[in-house]
Structure 1
């Protein structure tokens, strides 16, 4: 395979023993190494408080990487050369003086790209950046990667951004949302702006409504302490779902380059109609899972999960109706929902087109065409059309045109973190969130959270393993719509 690497760099992973590093970051780096996207002199240094010797850490990483990459993709040769890049150093992020030891370990390499990936609690973002600066590790080639959520409100997001910005120039801050690295999400942009077919129809004259769903079957698992403070709105809606909404609704950028793409996303966030006061009750639903069953298994209530307050009112489910006040989308509702411990795991975007204006054929009025972009568990795009049913007469039935990426492209699809990590190394911020995007999203979300505190303190209960609160169905039914689900009931 021909080498395709750029400059040598140091990739420093804070939180190197955590779940994100083991399940996502290190397997992604293994693939980038195996496929020769990393310069031969690129080093990977993991940091955490645990007192591992480097060789013991490599054995730990080997066990996890071998579990999280396809068995056919893991080889002893690739692992051997990958592990030679990999090093480990115990470090307590809260101790400023330990960063001098990190600086000595990395050595003095002027002009070398350094990527500092903070796979840590958000509270540690700003202190870590300041400690890196104090140790002389921040220069024009240093980049910092921040996981979501950034802040807990507009005020806290601004404070963190100010602190990070005092050390790192905005062009070197990479706020990551792994949804934006998914193949199907980028294919949404290709579908819209690479084909003449859809763009004339991509507006309120032809689209009835849009649904964006990110549903999970798992509960909070081992994230109870974090999740009970964050909730579904801060954990998912403020970042993942609003970013997906932006990609559906944005205008075509002048160029496919970072600032042009992010400028268009920002315009959508600024055009979102505020949800305030009593509208919070009418246009949002917040829920929390109670004890339930799925496939014969008893599932616990949220307040019995590990590290969760037994009297918690934290939401594990959110559904809401958003509207965009601009010429293209005026009058088109965007329905967003996300939740834990639900009946089915899926992430998808549904574009529901309007029905034909006049019934020409006998029978019921045909359904409007529907475009479904599926992000997980499989990645695909399907378009529903009305076609004549075989036989006599002109009875119509719905058929689907499907594009399954696994079948259409006979090669391995990159994981989102592979693409995003390589973008960071190369300095391409197109698929990352800019400061003003983050703050615009919080500016829209904060009044909803504030409204909940005033008029909607107690979340609606839904049984674990179900489709969520009944109120979420009513939210759409009031407008004559329904969630696009394959429900058994």
Structure 2
């Protein structure tokens, strides 16, 4: 694909734009990574003119970009790239003003973050204004539906104007450095790959914890819950990267082909298995950061059966992962904000060290808040060892900030926005991946409905209901807290 010379941002006055998109684009611009002719055209329902939008963008940079990274010249140059066109997506005639501002529609990238009900009219408006030519590309921000049927409806609407080769579905976790480092760790080092299977690994844990509650997202979150908000996208993408076969090449088709094979190999958790393979929870009153916080229902303002916590025991039914459990958990109002992957290797088949407390090797991949890769290994405790060698598990840590101190750490959207503008699809999600994810999630939700499985309470500031502990302990595994 050719490099875009126009970037059209829908929802340009919203929270995502101010916190992530505009600061990311500024970072790329300040570092000379954007095409010098790239213009950024914001659009939203807000009745702003171009100068008011630039003032809003300047305020966002002041709020979300460190002062030392905001030299006046770089800010001025970035603001010069900006334009703004107010738009009500339900009014087709408004799209002609967008087209006039864009210029060459075949060198256009579009970032679309909109309510599901507006996908149809927005796509129709873009196509009707001539903004869906062969060189254009369209990025779609979640939520892309609430189940398989609604996801297909959205994708069908988009496909009427944009073929799959021009669609960039965003999962911002794929833009994180440590997530991409999974590929380098697995396929750039011969050390791990021979053991990266059921013969060498006994279990895998993936945890995404949040300390926050609703944060003004009450209506959206209560209609989705933890399973659809986090597991369906971020966590299943992490699972796919851990479990995938080695791609032949580092290109979009090869990488995404292997991911979708994993997602289609997930063993369904149906009505018979949901009670033994899943846990639903909802936080009650408790504390967060040393401060008392309200229960979810009180924060929401009404009773609700929506889960704010979910734990799952999943299996990938193929040769590589036969019998290896993948434990997933995510929730709100947990003790820590963290995302990590724990790969538990099998113990040595025989210990020559007598009564020494042997612990299997463990690979710890921390994604947030700090990016880090650690390997727990057994080592000899210093001493004379008159009664035999004493061993202890010691960590070998690779602090990414230290290892790459000479390289600025970028937020995920910087990578994703640059790839969108330059037309690289590897870190974006393909339609068949999305549909495989929804198929697995819908079966779990159907099982919950079939069995009447409700939410179990847990105190805010804890690691979820006690049933989540039992989910792993039954297999002799403990969560890595």
- Give the drift of 1:8: 4.9
Give the stretch that moved more between structures: 117-126 or 137-146. Answer: 117-126
| Whole-angstrom distance in 2 between the partners of 1:123 and 1:251 | 37
Q: TM-score, normalised by structure 1?
A: 0.95
| Whole-angstrom distance in 2 between the partners of 1:261 and 1:359 | 39
- Give the drift of 1:262: 0.5
Aligned to 2:71: 75
Asked if 1:481 is matched to 2:477, the reply is: yes
Per-residue CA deviations over 1:395-443 (Å, capped at 9, x if unaligned) read: 1111111111110112202221111111111111111111111001111
The answer as to whether partners of 1:348 and 1:375 remain within 8 angstroms in 2 is yes
Asked if 1:28 is matched to 2:24, the reply is: yes
The answer as to whether partners of 1:214 and 1:346 remain within 8 angstroms in 2 is yes
- Give the drift of 1:365: 4.1
Aligned to 2:216: 222
Gaps of 5+ in 2: none
SS of match in other structure, 1:17: coil
Q: How many pairs are equivalent?
A: 476
The answer as to whether partners of 2:105 and 2:131 remain within 8 angstroms in 1 is no
311, 326, 329: which one aligns with 2:318: 326
Aligned to 1:401: 396
Aligned to 2:367: 375
| Whole-angstrom distance in 1 between the partners of 2:321 and 2:356 | 28
Gaps of 5+ in 1: 1-5
Aligned to 1:348: 340
Per-residue CA deviations over 1:237-261 (Å, capped at 9, x if unaligned) read: 0110000000000000111100010
Q: TM-score, normalised by structure 2?
A: 0.96
Aligned to 1:136: 130
SS of match in other structure, 1:315: coil
| Whole-angstrom distance in 1 between the partners of 2:108 and 2:329 | 37
Aligned to 1:118: 112
Per-residue CA deviations over 1:27-69 (Å, capped at 9, x if unaligned) read: 0000110111111211001111112232222222212212222
The answer as to whether partners of 1:49 and 1:92 remain within 8 angstroms in 2 is yes
The answer as to whether partners of 1:26 and 1:65 remain within 8 angstroms in 2 is yes
- Give the drift of 1:88: 1.8
- Give the drift of 1:100: 2.0
Equivalent runs, 1:25-174 vs 2, <5 Å: 25-107=21-103, 109=104, 111=106, 113-174=107-168
- Give the drift of 1:359: 2.3
- Give the drift of 1:75: 1.1
Equivalent runs, 1:180-259 vs 2, <5 Å: 180-259=174-253
| Whole-angstrom distance in 2 between the partners of 1:110 and 1:23 | 27
| Whole-angstrom distance in 1 between the partners of 2:54 and 2:381 | 60
- Give the drift of 1:309: 5.8
Per-residue CA deviations over 1:370-394 (Å, capped at 9, x if unaligned) read: 0011100010100010001111321
- Give the drift of 1:104: 2.4
SS of match in other structure, 1:97: helix
| Whole-angstrom distance in 2 between the partners of 1:127 and 1:300 | 39
Per-residue CA deviations over 1:329-352 (Å, capped at 9, x if unaligned) read: 000000011111111110001000
The answer as to whether partners of 1:143 and 1:174 remain within 8 angstroms in 2 is yes
Aligned to 2:455: 459
The answer as to whether partners of 1:283 and 1:475 remain within 8 angstroms in 2 is yes
Question: Over aligned residues, Cα RMSD in angstroms?
Answer: 1.3
Give the stretch that moved more between structures: 371-380 or 386-395. Answer: 386-395
The answer as to whether partners of 2:284 and 2:457 remain within 8 angstroms in 1 is yes
- Give the drift of 1:80: 0.3
The answer as to whether partners of 1:258 and 1:431 remain within 8 angstroms in 2 is yes
| Whole-angstrom distance in 2 between the partners of 1:340 and 1:49 | 31
Aligned to 1:270: 264
Aligned to 1:281: 275
